[in-house]
Amino acid sequence: MLRDVALLAVIAATVTFEQNDGFAQEPDSFDVEPPLLVPNRGDAALPEATTPDVDRAKLEEAFERAKRNAADAKHLYRIGVISQVEVEQRALRVVRLEADLANARLEKAKEQAGAVSSVMVNGQAANDERTKADLAKLTQAAQAAAAKRERAELDVAEANLHRQQELLAVGSAHKSDVARAEQKLAELKGQKN
């Protein structure tokens, strides 16, 4: 009881102090801004945009790394460290990166072909047959890589659907998992057609 009376007295004193000349009547204090820890970067040059050559080099590195990971995945699956799904995903990543790399090479060849065609020799546009042949070869390689990518994605989706159906049969999966796998397969087949 004594504690309650003391608490009420403290609350009443605080309210009275704020109403009179307490916190509400403080004179305008001046604001002091602390110095910036990060200097003004408005004057600094913006980072340069990445060039296609850098992107292509990164793609090549990622492709080589993915190939090594896919090769290691087969061994890791045999000894039971990773699942078959992980092996399939690593192989699919290799195919995807291969298609992306083929497209990057094609874009670079198109840029070079555009640069060669803009060069004038003796008043006429230079037609480099070698550049055109390389461009045709790279176009064909990009189309083959895209077809390989579509086929690999379709194969992985079919394998996933089959896996989900087997898991549902033994009671380890849900009907929604099978429905998602069927939907993914239907989407891929729809894109192909």
Q: Which two tokens stand for residue 127?
A: 């037609």
pLDDT tens-digit series, residues 77-126: 999 999 999 999 999 999 999 999 999 999 988 888 777 766 655 555 55
Q: Where are the domains of the chain?
A: 52-192
- Transcribe 47-116 into DSSP letters: PPPPPHHHHHHHHHHHHHHHHHHHHHHHHHHHTTSS-HHHHHHHHHHHHHHHHHHHHHHHHHHHHHHHHH
Grade residue 61 by pLDDT with cuts at 50, 70 and 90: very high
Model confidence at 164: pLDDT above 80: yes
Res 133: pLDDT:
83
Res 127: pLDDT:
60
